[in-house]
Amino acid sequence: YIWNNDKLTSVQGLNSLEYIGSDFLVFYNDALTDFIGLDSLITIHRELAVVDNAVSSLKGLGSLENVEYLTITDSYNLLSLTGLENITRLSRLKLQLNVNLGNLEGLKNLEHVDNFVQIIEN
């Protein structure tokens, strides 16, 4: 978890991280604007959840290929999903209340969703 860190501006330092064996939950980080520093991350075994952060970009997640659930909600500064282009399959996709999200272009290579897709109030 990266949770409720008011002054965290960067995830630099996690540059060698390639695998997360469970969930990667990024919630309530008021100064975190991107994911630069996670450039080596290839697999998140369960869920990537980005909720209520200052994130304007998903830059830094460009190596991510394997994740089961993708949830991005209440990320009011998020403009695009650029950085998620290597994801081709999900079990669940939920995008909600990302009011400045202009397009879904970052998911252009997504071929298969096993369960459901929710895209609500973006």
pLDDT at residue 2, rounded to an integer: 97
Q: What is the 3-state secondary structure (H, E, C) of 54-72?
A: CCCCCCCCCCCCEEEEEEE
Q: What is the pLDDT of residue 74?
A: 97
- pLDDT (tens digit per residue) in 33-77: 999 999 999 999 999 999 999 999 999 999 999 999 999 999 999
Phi and psi at residue 52, to the nearest 5°: 55, 60
If pLDDT is split at 50, 70 and 90, which confidence band does 80 have?
Answer: very high
pLDDT of residue 107: 98
What are the structure tokens assigned to 108, written together?
């252009």
The C-alpha angle with vertex 91 and arms to 100 and 76, in degrees rounded to 5, equals 15
In whole angstroms, give the CA distance from residue 64 to residue 53.
20
Mean pLDDT along residues 97-112: 97
At residue 26, the pLDDT reads: 98
At 1-44, the pLDDT tens digits run 999 999 999 999 999 999 999 999 999 999 999 999 999 999 99
Q: What is the mean pLDDT of residues 96-118?
A: 97
pLDDT score, position 116:
95
